[in-house]
Structure 1
């Protein structure tokens, strides 16, 4: 069985009992008989997100022929806490550099973002519990090993996390085409959290309002936006450049 899936009613119940990190549980629509209700009840008690899907969807992603109408998508790697990410920066004597991902759904995007984050010295990444890809085997593979070195925290509420980071002295910078400045004209040398939005919708309205300022990436082509991981890499390297230029002057 794949290391990011648990299939079948009893295996899923055991995964719930063992406190294993579970991103979400997929349940076949209309499945209510027998032990499926117990799985649903246990998941709700533990605050695990449940998504009801067509049985054909389960058939497509199942590794076995015995999913019994339920598949748990589990984390391939352990998550950390936001406080631990900030502590890493403190131990290194560096200003915190954090990435906030607002509903990134593509595992390849998350893996690529992690790879760049490792290259530029990001202290950690924050993702929401719902409507977001988790630390799957695909993410691990795409990260090319960076998943071993870049801490990822999963939070219930990104907006509340932004408030917490602001209290810790971080500036919140969102990547959005409505930004007042091109990204390279904004001072990003201080403690900072970069917000990267969903592949299709961008940053949600509430999160955008929480940002201290928005920056845009100038483009002259026909396509109106960049891939999320490319936009994230562009901004991360600008922060890296500014921070290192500042160090070289000292």
Structure 2
């Protein structure tokens, strides 16, 4: 397998960080948009409990990391607590579904499972916005941070297209089903070519990572698996390119309808 080349991610700008127990707690209390919180895994402080409680209530992911990870941020006096600000305001999935349906639109949502390369995420968001996707759904863990690099790669699309961050993609699929949305999964071994699938219906499309694909349990609860035909067999397509092919087909079908 050809190994994917990955650029070394840049250290986040100091202005994008909130650090220290009191400062992070205040940011949570004031409802500041945070991408995630990093806690020293050896930190044993009763005051951290309130940070964890508020983070859970506000659906801000908490990562327990070694001290060397916190040192990477290059800020002093962080007290074992660093939060990264977000330029993305995450939306509630059900609220967004209701808005799309009440607005008379046919839902077209995109679910990203295990995609960690921020350049791929940025490219996907750019294509999704151009093809009329109404929302991108991501898990709170196991996905690349929607940081400055991702926003830059997306040419600003990540600040235009709504993003829903959920604590379980399985539950998100259940919620989509309850709202009458058909969930398609992109899988190389699927027998149904994407051009044959009816993507004009209320739809959500799951894209998995190039290395592992879609999580098996998630794949199992999808309605239909679709594939992209290839003239010459290859291990996998770049996930951003594959997403573009599928979304273009969905857009074409909807424009013709």
TM range, smaller chain: 0.7 to 0.9
Change (3 A) 1:223 1:65: farther
Does residue 188 of the first structure (1) align with residue 187 of the second (2)?
A: no
For 2:128, the equivalent position in structure 1 comes to 117
More helix per residue: 1
The answer to whether the 8 A contact 2:29-2:54 is kept is no
Does residue 58 of the first structure (1) align with residue 70 of the second (2)?
A: yes
- Alignment of structure 1 residues 211-226 onto 2, 5 Å: 211-221=222-232, 223-226=234-237
* TM-score normalised by structure 2 residue count: 0.84
Change (3 A) 1:204 1:4: farther
Change (3 A) 1:20 1:169: same
The answer to whether the 8 A contact 2:210-2:236 is kept is no
Does residue 25 of the first structure (1) align with residue 34 of the second (2)?
A: no
For 1:173, the equivalent position in structure 2 comes to 184
SS at match of 1:161: helix
Looking at structure 2, the residues matched to 104 and 4 of structure 1 have their Cα atoms a distance apart, in angstroms, of 23
- Of 32, 43, 55, 2:52 maps to 43
SS at match of 2:47: helix
Alignment size in residue pairs: 242
Change (3 A) 1:205 1:221: same
- Alignment of structure 1 residues 27-106 onto 2, 5 Å: 27-32=39-44, 36-47=45-56, 48-60=60-72, 62-90=73-101, 92-106=103-117
* TM-score normalised by structure 1 residue count: 0.86
Does residue 209 of the first structure (1) align with residue 220 of the second (2)?
A: yes
SS at match of 2:83: strand
Change (3 A) 1:4 1:173: farther
- Alignment of structure 1 residues 121-132 onto 2, 5 Å: 121-132=132-143
SS at match of 2:110: strand
Looking at structure 2, the residues matched to 4 and 201 of structure 1 have their Cα atoms a distance apart, in angstroms, of 31
The answer to whether the 8 A contact 2:14-2:75 is kept is no
Q: Residue by residue, what CA displacement relative to the aligned partner does 1:182-241 show, whole Å, maximum 9, x if unpaired?
A: 212222111110011134221111110111111112335564112222221111111011
Change (3 A) 1:200 1:71: farther
**Which deviates more from structure 2 when the two are superposed, residues 174-183 or residues 14-23?**
14-23
- The unaligned stretches of length 5 or more in structure 2 are 1-12
Shift of 1:131: 2.3
- The unaligned stretches of length 5 or more in structure 1 are none
Looking at structure 1, the residues matched to 241 and 53 of structure 2 have their Cα atoms a distance apart, in angstroms, of 36
- Of 197, 200, 203, 2:211 maps to 200
Looking at structure 1, the residues matched to 186 and 165 of structure 2 have their Cα atoms a distance apart, in angstroms, of 20
The answer to whether the 8 A contact 1:128-1:156 is kept is yes
Shift of 1:149: 1.9
Looking at structure 1, the residues matched to 168 and 83 of structure 2 have their Cα atoms a distance apart, in angstroms, of 22
**Which deviates more from structure 2 when the two are superposed, residues 103-112 or residues 141-150?**
103-112
Shift of 1:63: 4.9
The answer to whether the 8 A contact 1:4-1:136 is kept is no
